Amino acid sequence: MWSSHIILLLFFTLFIKVCSFLLASYLLFSSFYLLIFYLFLDMETSKAEGKRSLKEIEDEEEEEDDEDLAGGLGFVDDDKIKKKGKRGSNGGGGSSQMLMVSCQADNCTSDLTDAKRYHRRHKVCELHAKAPFVPVNGHQQRFCQQCSRFHDLSEFDDSKRSCRRRLAGHNERRRKSSAECQGEGSN
């Protein structure tokens, strides 16, 4: 009689130990899983914040370059002053003022406030970014997709949208990489 009780007691303690082991393993695994999940989530968030701040820095540098060009020469083009109107009723200075951005093309009335970030950043509407020639400051020019600037038409080949200088650099890099690939294949 005692032996059956002892066997039952041993079986019950073994069962409890196995259950506690399984429960501990489950808790350990789920804790590990949650830890990895939150670390990954935090890492993705910090990457996105890093990209966002890098773009903001680039925008600020471009604005500073524009200010340097205008301020360094001692004059600012009147047309650009007219095109950049203050937005909002805030009369104070600083970062709370938003400038209304419009296209650089002569007589273009496109408001870029709701345009894509690229077009706002480079101050060119979608129509003039793709046009074969655009009057800018009285000269016929074309918007270069590589430089993101307007150049005289003489700097482009035929109907290309990238200037010769940037195309030459692109072709040189392409030739260099294809030569490296052919060199690896002959080994």
Q: What local confidence, expressed as pLDDT, does residue 2 receive?
A: 66
Domains of the chain, each with CATH number or no CATH: 101-187 (4.10.1100.10)
Q: Residue 47's pLDDT is what? A: 47
pTM metric for this prediction: 0.45
pLDDT of residue 41: 57
Cα(134)–Cα(151) distance, rounded to whole angstroms?
A: 10
Identify whether the C-beta of residue 114 lies closer than 8 Å to the C-beta of residue 132: no
Note the pLDDT of residue 170.
Answer: 87
For the chain, which ranges sit under pLDDT 50?
44-52, 67-97
Apex CA 72: angle with CA 66 and CA 78, to 5°? 65
- At 72-81, the pLDDT tens digits run 444 444 444 4
**pLDDT tens column, 120-147:** 999 999 999 999 999 999 999 999 988 8
Give 3-state DSSP helix, strand, coil % of the chain, rounded to 5: 60, 10, 30
Angle at 184 between CA 178 and CA 187, to 5 degrees: 145
